[in-house]
């Protein structure tokens, strides 16, 4: 490239060292080059239509005119207090603004999606940036300002990795790729940095991709077997959507009161769940766990749909509640023992109860929500379910060569004890004053574990300040797994 836009080594270093909080900017490098061996340069899963177009050479820039330099502020009017006032309706929480300056006719509002289930922040920022770049001549320098690092992280950190992997498994691809395509067509340096009024509603950006600036396919050197496999699945557009719809419908019917789809989705990320469990629940919702019917969709792997221990179809329901391999039934009987100490009857459970776990509440005789019991329920059930799943994977994948291999009961017992005590210890840590406003309420923690701790009468009234986790201290602060 002779147009002076490809970044020199010094400039690339400056990007590496840039500290956005201190007002540095990152400069976009529009060139796609490959160094190294052949596998760096070969790409697979390439979109055939891009092959028929000649490789792109950027337009020759004219004489740089500093006054043409444009700065655009990107922000979300309903949540970003820094931006100029923008009149939006309450329901427009998914609206993003591109602000060129007071009374600038290019100021615009962009809604990235009408899908209420979609996380909008990144698509929103990208759509606003795309809109802004469409409003700016291709050869005028463009600066993006925002209150966060979302755009710079996406363009400078994530995109190179995603491009190397051919965008396989990247839901944001539909938003990032058109924007990258547009940036590469530009003949001026663009920069992104953090920031220190009238808007019209813009048409959504067209997201048209010029095939000559399009980099498709995955670098051979970045392709693992797992990634190649996902690429094949994506190329076949495996219909997981139907499973998601079925699960959502089942969750809706299961709840006694009507629930919105977005409420059900939100509940899968309940703050009482560990992060790994939330991810696991999200995968159940999408039918994305590698078990049961998942394998029926993949030619040559249909036998994996069966439970290797029982020979039944290995559905989530089977793994969590029916499988005869050591694990699930012992865990449920222990969890039931703990729950009944709370003085509440153990209900019968099915996989749908797990889908709606974040929405389930326990009430007293006057119909008031029992906060402590409800929280204990979420913690107990989520941890039990996740442990059962982890034990199953350990057995099926870790000991695949021996179909009759099972966990020892003492190991299952110890793992559950360890898991629940870890949650208890996390709670004790979370009430500490050093976390200020985000500290978990002491009363809620006490109410959560009340009646289910070992030697509870011997513990101080406020045991959250008690250092009973120290070895050798009696009584020890522990969840009681023994029956009364
Ligand atoms: Zn089984």
How far is the centre of ligand 1, averaged over its atoms, from the C-alpha of 306 (Å)?
8
Is residue 195 pLDDT above 50, yes or no? no
How far is the centre of ligand 1, averaged over its atoms, from the C-alpha of 326 (Å)?
9
| 251-255, 441-445, 475-479: least confident range | 475-479
Confirm if 354 and 380 have CB atoms less than 8 A apart: no
How far is the centre of ligand 1, averaged over its atoms, from the C-alpha of 7 (Å)?
57
Q: What is the mean pLDDT of residues 166-177?
A: 83
Q: Cα–Cα distance between 53 and 178 in angstroms, integer?
A: 17
Is residue 145 pLDDT above 70, yes or no? yes
Q: Cα–Cα distance between 351 and 250 in angstroms, integer?
A: 10
pLDDT tens-digit readout, 99-123: 877 777 888 888 887 776 677 788 8
How far is the centre of ligand 1, averaged over its atoms, from the C-alpha of 268 (Å)?
26
Conformational region of residue 101, where left means phi above 0, alpha means psi within -120 to 50, and beta covers everything else: left
Most confident of 7-21, 207-221, 414-428, 432-446: 414-428
**What one-character DSSP code corresponds to residue 7?**
P
How far is the centre of ligand 1, averaged over its atoms, from the C-alpha of 285 (Å)?
21
DSSP string, 322-337: I--SSSHHHHHHHHHH
**What one-character DSSP code corresponds to residue 399?**
T
Give residue 188's pLDDT.
53
Neighbours of ion ligand 1 (CB under 5 A): 307, 309-310, 323
Helix (H) and strand (E) counts in the chain = 17, 9
């Amino acid at each position: 490239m002779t147009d002076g836009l490809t970044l020199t080594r010094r400039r690339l270093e400056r990007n590496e060292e840039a500290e956005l909080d201190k007002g540095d900017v990152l400069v976009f490098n529009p060139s796609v080059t490959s160094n190294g061996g052949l596998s760096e340069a070969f790409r697979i899963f390439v979109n055939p239509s891009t092959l028929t177009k000649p490789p792109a050479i950027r337009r020759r820039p004219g004489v740089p005119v500093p006054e043409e330099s444009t700065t655009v502020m990107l922000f979300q009017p309903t949540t970003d207090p820094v931006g100029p006032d923008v009149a939006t309706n309450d329901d427009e929480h998914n609206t993003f603004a591109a602000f060129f300056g007071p009374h600038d006719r290019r100021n615009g509002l962009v809604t990235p999606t009408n899908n209420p289930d979609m996380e909008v922040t990144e698509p929103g920022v990208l759509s606003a940036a795309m809109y802004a770049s469409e409003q700016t001549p291709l050869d005028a320098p463009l600066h993006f300002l925002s209150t966060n690092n979302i755009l710079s992280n996406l363009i400078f950190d994530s995109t190179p990795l995603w491009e190397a992997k051919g965008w396989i498994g990247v839901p944001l691809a539909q938003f990032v790729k058109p924007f990258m395509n547009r940036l590469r067509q530009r003949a001026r340096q663009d920069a992104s940095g953090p920031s220190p009024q009238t808007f019209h509603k813009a048409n959504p950006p067209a997201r048209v991709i010029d095939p000559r600036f399009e980099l498709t396919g995955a670098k051979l050197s970045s392709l693992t077997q797992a990634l190649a496999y996902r690429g094949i699945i994506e190329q076949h557009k495996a219909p997981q959507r139907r499973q998601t719809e079925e699960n959502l419908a089942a969750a809706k019917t299961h709840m006694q009161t009507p629930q919105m789809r977005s409420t059900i989705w939100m509940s899968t990320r309940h703050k009482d769940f560990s992060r790994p469990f939330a991810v696991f629940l999200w995968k159940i919702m999408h039918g994305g766990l590698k078990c049961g019917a998942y394998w029926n969709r993949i030619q040559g792997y249909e036998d994996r749909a069966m439970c290797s221990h029982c020979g039944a179809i290995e559905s989530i329901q089977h793994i969590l509640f029916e499988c005869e391999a050591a694990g699930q039934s012992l865990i449920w009987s222990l969890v039931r023992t703990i729950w009944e100490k709370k003085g509440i009857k153990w209900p019968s459970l099915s996989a749908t109860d797990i889908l709606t776990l974040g929405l389930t509440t326990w009430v007293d005789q006057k119909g008031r929500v029992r906060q402590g019991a409800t929280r204990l329920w979420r913690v107990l059930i989520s941890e039990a379910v996740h442990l059962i799943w982890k034990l199953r994977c350990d057995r099926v994948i870790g000991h695949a060569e021996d179909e009759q291999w099972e966990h020892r009961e003492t190991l299952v017992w110890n793992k559950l004890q360890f898991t629940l005590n870890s949650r208890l210890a996390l709670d004790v840590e979370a009430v500490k004053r050093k976390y200020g406003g985000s500290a978990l309420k002491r009363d809620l923690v006490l109410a959560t574990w009340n009646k289910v701790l070992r030697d509870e009468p011997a513990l101080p009234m406020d045991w959250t300040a008690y250092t009973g986790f120290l070895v050798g201290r009696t009584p020890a602060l522990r969840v009681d797994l023994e029956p009364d």
